[in-house]
Amino acid sequence: MDLASLNAFIAIAESGGFSIAAERLHLTQPAVSKRIAALEQQLGVRLFDRLGREIGLTEAGRALLPRAYRILNELDDTRRALSNLSGEVSGRLSLATSHHIGLHRLPPLLRTFTRAHPQVNLDIRFLDSEVAYDEVLHGRAELAVITLAPETAMPVRAVQVWDDPLAFVTAPEHPLACNGQVRLSDVAGYPAVFPGGNTFTHHIVRRLFEREGLNANIAMSTNYMETIKMMVSIGIAWSVLPRTMLDEQVVALPLPGARLSRSLGYIVHTERSLSNAAQAFMALLDQARDPLHGTSPTG
C-alpha cells in the first residue's frame, strides 16, 4: 500500500475536500486525485462519495481511516525508535501548544532548547488545547503543552507543570468593580465573554456557577485570552483570566470562596516511541515544574 496515497487519503478525510488537501500536501489537485484513484483501484473499493462539491467517506473509507492512521503512526514510531539509537538530539519535533501557553510560558524554554539542540527542527503549531489533545492522540503531534483536562485517559499521559490561578476580572470602571465585595450571584447578572463551551477553562468556570445554582450570562465567546482581556478592558463584559495576565487594564473582583485554578502541562501518547528531541524537551518542562503543584503525572 503506497504511503503517499494514504497520506492523501487522510488529508482529504480530515479537510473535507481535494483542493484543501492538495494545499496541505503542497501538491496539485490532479496529483491528489491520481493518488486516491490509485488507492481505490488497489483496494478495489470506492473511498469517497463525491456529490457536487461535497466530499464524504464511504463505508469502506470510514473503515480504512483508523487503519491508515495506525499504519502511518507505526511507521513514524519505527523511524523514531531507530533514530534514537544514535543518541543524538536531532531531527523533527512536532510540538502543539495553546496560544496562551505559547506566548506566556514557553518562550524561555524554547530559547534554552534551541540553543542546546540546534540540530532539532521545531514544528510548532498553535492550537486550542482540546484540538492539541486530539493531535497527540492520533499521532499528528509528538508532544503538546496545553491546559490539561480534569481527567486524562490512557493512552494519553498528562504531566502538570504549572498551576495557573484564575481571577474574575472587569474593567476598572465596570459596576462590579465599583461595588466593593461582590457575590457570584451579582456577577451572573452581567454579560460575560468566555472561551468556547468546548474548552477546559469554560468547563472549570461553568462548574463553579452550577454548584451555586447559577448560570453565567455568556454574551460573547472567543478562545484567545488576549482578545478576552481586551474586551474586558473596554468595559463591555467580565471574564475569568489567568492572574499572570492582570495589569492596570483590568481589576480582579474580590469574590469570597470563588477560588479557581487550572493545570497547565504536557501530554504524550504512551504507546508510541518518543524521539530524543521530545525527551529532551520534556526534561526541560520537568525542570520548570511548580515545586508544590507539578510533581505527579496523571492519566
Per-residue pLDDT of the chain (299 residues; tens, 9 = 90+): 788 999 999 999 998 899 999 998 999 999 999 999 999 999 999 999 987 778 899 999 999 999 998 888 888 888 778 777 877 888 889 999 999 999 999 999 999 999 999 999 999 999 999 899 999 988 889 999 999 988 888 899 999 999 999 999 999 999 999 877 789 999 999 999 999 888 888 988 989 999 999 999 999 999 899 999 999 999 999 999 999 999 999 999 988 877 889 999 999 999 888 999 999 999 999 999 977 654 445 55
Q: Does domain 165-261 have CATH number 3.40.50.300?
A: no
The answer to pTM > 0.85 is no
C-alpha cell at 205: 468556570
Which part of the chain is CATH 3.40.190.290?
165-261
| CB-side neighbour CA atoms (13 Å) of 41 | 8
Give residues with Cβ within 8 angstroms of 86, minimum separation 6.
none
Q: What is the CATH number of domain 3-81?
A: 1.10.10.10
Which part of the chain is CATH 1.10.10.10?
3-81
Q: Are 104 and 226 in contact (CB under 8 A)?
A: no
The fold adopted by the segment(s) 89-162+263-298 is D-Maltodextrin-Binding Protein; domain 2 (3.40.190)
How many whole angstroms separate alpha carbon 191 and alpha carbon 250? Answer: 16
Tell me which amino acid residue 88 is: E
Which part of the chain is CATH 3.40.190.10?
89-162+263-298
